[in-house]
Structure 1
Amino acid sequence: MSMEATSPVKAWLEREDSLLRVRLARPKANLVDAAMIAALRDTLAQYRRHSMLRGVVLDAEGPHFSFGASVEEHLPERCAAMLTSLHALIMDLLMFPVPVIAAVQGQCLGGGLEVALACGRIVAAPGAQFGQPEIKLGVFAPAASALLPYRLNQPTAEDLLLSGRSVGAEEALAIGLVQAVADDPVAAALAWFDQHLFAKSAAALSCALVGARGVMQRQVPERLAELERLYLDWLMRTHDAHEGLAAFLAKRTPAWTHQ
């Protein structure tokens, strides 16, 4: 393992150094908090110039991929730093020079789903659940707002973002949120790498990925900047954003004023 045992992320190379394995390692929640984001960014930076690399498989220890971001880090005094770091991670994943495959089991929610959305292919276990529940807390999901319209279509993206509902693996497959459902999503992700990426040229894959994602890679940074301003300069000035977060932490029903 290349990361310290205490790190929230484990990383190693396999398959003749052609595949980077990255694992979220703070079960059961695997929160996408400041420590997790920093460790993921460090890992991606460490391996992004590895000349033999043809793919990445991102998975997670425990029964769940990720419960999402830390609600405490959404509080007004911390949310600007949280958004900046999370969005930098999203761009690291979108700009990574080889395909990234996410293997998901259990809950994949909020910031955890945003991380998966920034990967390419998503493989889900049959019991996986996907959702952006931020709206239930009186806030919204900036990165998912930028990414979901690319991965789905506009009405379906709005359905998930405005309802905050979770969808199971089969519905996620049907709407295009995930690309495969498998009893063992890690094994399925590795098999897809072995069949489709291992024999390819790393240089050709990198160029093909830029070609496929060119418009997305240009537009998403601009969208993320716009969405950060919307979140910080408008949303966080509303009563309901503060009330929703406080109610969640106090385990009570929020009292909306609709302002």
Structure 2
Amino acid sequence: MSDSLKTTRKGGILEVVLDRPKANAIDLATSREMGEVFRDFRDDPELRVAIITGGGEKFFCAGWDLKAAAGGDAVDGDYGVGGFGGLQELPHLNKPVIAAVNGICCGGGLELALSADIILAADHASFALPEIRSGTVADAASVKVPKRIPYHIAMEMLLTGRWLDVEEAARWGLVNYVHPAEALRAEAWKMAELLESGPPLVYAAIKEIVREAEDMKFQDAMNRITKSQFKSVEALYRSEDQLEGAKAFAEGRDPVWQGR
């Protein structure tokens, strides 16, 4: 692994730190490496939750590395198995991911954070889509942001490049929680430990249903569930964990999840 990524593994939790001073911007090589890291996370049955954060105290991620682009990295180059940043196009990622936004989060960095399931932010974090000012389009954000926050706020971000401070981002529901900067990493691990203790097969079912049903009508999605067309849901219904959950409830104890 290069110096750009630092990983920490503890139990079923994987923390990935993007560490490319000064701005934690992502070039093609780093994006491919991130894709490999998150692909291995997806495929490792012992890992249950991932955290993505930035190195240092100023930047979470400034997005696309314009210096690398000036040096020959093509904007339509090979980003790797997971697309830009390794997460947003990674197929079949049925495990929860937490973004711990430790500072400036803009452009492709915001697209990376939006690829997570839960976003925690430091109290000095800020958010923007400044691509408009350099004459380009925030393509993934143009798809995602209007679905996550009120349409008119999303369009203002996209059309003007306006910055949101963390309080406004929280008000519009862009982040789940705001924490003091010095407590962010510990809070991210606390959230990860909570998720690690939960039922992995249920998480997989939730993520598949949410992902696949995003553009479906309600009844069409329900029909796919009842016709056993979601693999993760069928795996859950036929699992030992499903029986364990019922037994634990009946016996008044905490369940022991095995992921099978």
Q: Give the TM-score category using the shorter length.
A: 0.7 to 0.9
Any conservation in 1 of the 2:38–2:86 contact (CA below 8 Å)? no
Deviations 1:29-60 (A, max 9, x none): 11111122011101011221121322111111
Structure 2 spans left out of the alignment, 5+ residues: 217-260
Amino acid at match of 1:202: P
Query: 1:217/1:114 Cα in 2 relative to 1: closer, same or farther (>3 Å)?
Result: farther
Query: What is the match of residue 15 of structure 2?
Result: 21
SS of the equivalent of 2:174 reads: coil
Query: What is the match of residue 185 of structure 1?
Result: 184
**TM-score when scaled to structure 1?**
0.74
Any conservation in 2 of the 1:141–1:161 contact (CA below 8 Å)? yes
The structure showing larger relative contact order (alpha-carbon pairs under 8 Å, at least 6 residues apart) is: 1
Any conservation in 2 of the 1:99–1:120 contact (CA below 8 Å)? yes
Query: What is the match of residue 207 of structure 2?
Result: 209
Query: What is the match of residue 245 of structure 2?
Result: none
2:173, 2:44 → 1: CA distance? 31
1:217, 1:101 → 2: CA distance? 24
Query: What is the match of residue 9 of structure 1?
Result: 5
Query: 1:213/1:177 Cα in 2 relative to 1: closer, same or farther (>3 Å)?
Result: same
Structure 1 spans left out of the alignment, 5+ residues: 219-259
2:87, 2:203 → 1: CA distance? 21
2:200, 2:20 → 1: CA distance? 31
Query: 1:66/1:41 Cα in 2 relative to 1: closer, same or farther (>3 Å)?
Result: same
1:185, 1:28 → 2: CA distance? 20
SS of the equivalent of 1:123 reads: strand
Any conservation in 1 of the 2:51–2:98 contact (CA below 8 Å)? yes
Query: 1:19/1:26 Cα in 2 relative to 1: closer, same or farther (>3 Å)?
Result: same
SS of the equivalent of 1:79 reads: coil
- Give the counterpart of 1:69 among 57, 64, 78: 64
Quote the sequence identity (%).
30
Give the 5 Å matches for 1:19-58. Answer: 19-58=13-52
Any conservation in 2 of the 1:19–1:55 contact (CA below 8 Å)? yes
SS of the equivalent of 2:24 reads: coil
Amino acid at match of 1:193: A
1:152, 1:213 → 2: CA distance? 18
Runs of 4+ in 1 over 6 A off after TM superposition: none
1:7 deviates by 3.3
**TM-score when scaled to structure 2?**
0.74
Query: 1:81/1:35 Cα in 2 relative to 1: closer, same or farther (>3 Å)?
Result: same
Q: How many residues are treated as equivalent by the alignment?
A: 210
Query: What is the match of residue 103 of structure 2?
Result: 106
Amino acid at match of 2:114: L
- Give the counterpart of 1:59 among 46, 53, 71: 53
Q: Which has the larger radius of gyration?
A: 2
2:44, 2:134 → 1: CA distance? 41
Query: 1:204/1:140 Cα in 2 relative to 1: closer, same or farther (>3 Å)?
Result: same
1:95, 1:174 → 2: CA distance? 31
